[in-house]
Amino acid sequence: MASFKSTKIPIYPKLGEKVTPDTLYWKNYKAPVQIKEFGAVTSIDFSSLAPHNYAVTASTRIHIYGPFSTEPVKTFTRFKDTAYSGKFRSDGQLLVAGCEDSVVRLFDVSGKVALRVFKGHTKGVHVTDFTSDCYHILTGSDDYTCRLWDIPNSTELTSYKEHTDYIRCGTTSKLNRDIFITGSYDHTLRVFDARVEKSVMTMDHSQPVESVLLYPSEGLLVSAGGRYVKVWDLLKGGQPLVSLKNHHKTVTCLSLSSNGQRLLSASLDRHVKIYNTTNYKVVHNFDYAASILSLALAPDDESIVVGMTNGVLSIKHRKSPEEKREMVGKQRMQPVYRIFVKGRNYVPKKASTNILYDLDSFLSVCVCSQSWRRNRKPEITVAVMKELDRRGTLKNALAGRDEQNLSQLLNFLIGNVVDPRFTPVLVTATEMILDIYQAVVGQSSVVDRQLVRLQELVEREVDYQQDLLEVLGMLDTLFATSLPRKEVPCPGSSRPNGLAEGSLGAPGPQLQAA
Over residues 125-139, mean pLDDT: 94
Tell me, what's the pLDDT at 383? 85
Question: For 350-396, what is each residue's pLDDT tens digit?
Answer: 443 344 445 555 555 555 544 444 346 788 888 888 888 888 888 88
Tell me, what's the pLDDT at 326? 66
Q: At 100, is the secondary structure helix, strand, or coil?
A: coil
Over residues 273-300, mean pLDDT: 92
Residues 9 and 506: their CA atoms lie apart, in Å, by: 63
Question: For 51-77, what is each residue's pLDDT tens digit?
Answer: 889 999 999 999 999 988 889 999 998
36-45, 99-108, 196-205, 474-483: which range is least confident on average?
Answer: 474-483
Tell me, what's the pLDDT at 490? 60
Tell me, what's the pLDDT at 359? 54
pLDDT band per the 50, 70, 90 thresholds, residue 151: very high
Answering whether pTM is above 0.85, one says no
- Comparing 380 with 150, which gets the higher pLDDT? 150
Tell me, what's the pLDDT at 252? 95
Cβ-contact 27, 18 below 8 angstroms:
no
Handedness of CA 75, 144, 170, 138 (dihedral sign): negative
Over residues 41-49, mean pLDDT: 92
Amino acid in position 64: I
Work out the mean pLDDT of the chain and round it to a whole number.
83
Tell me, what's the pLDDT at 442? 83
Q: In what order do the strands lie in the sheet with 201-204?
A: 167-172, 179-184, 188-193, 201-204
Q: Answer whether residue 489 shows pLDDT above 70.
A: no
Over residues 403-430, mean pLDDT: 87
Cβ-contact 84, 121 below 8 angstroms:
no
* Closest C-alpha to 280, from 234, 233, 244, 235: 244
Question: For 175-195, what is each residue's pLDDT tens digit?
Answer: 999 999 999 999 999 999 999
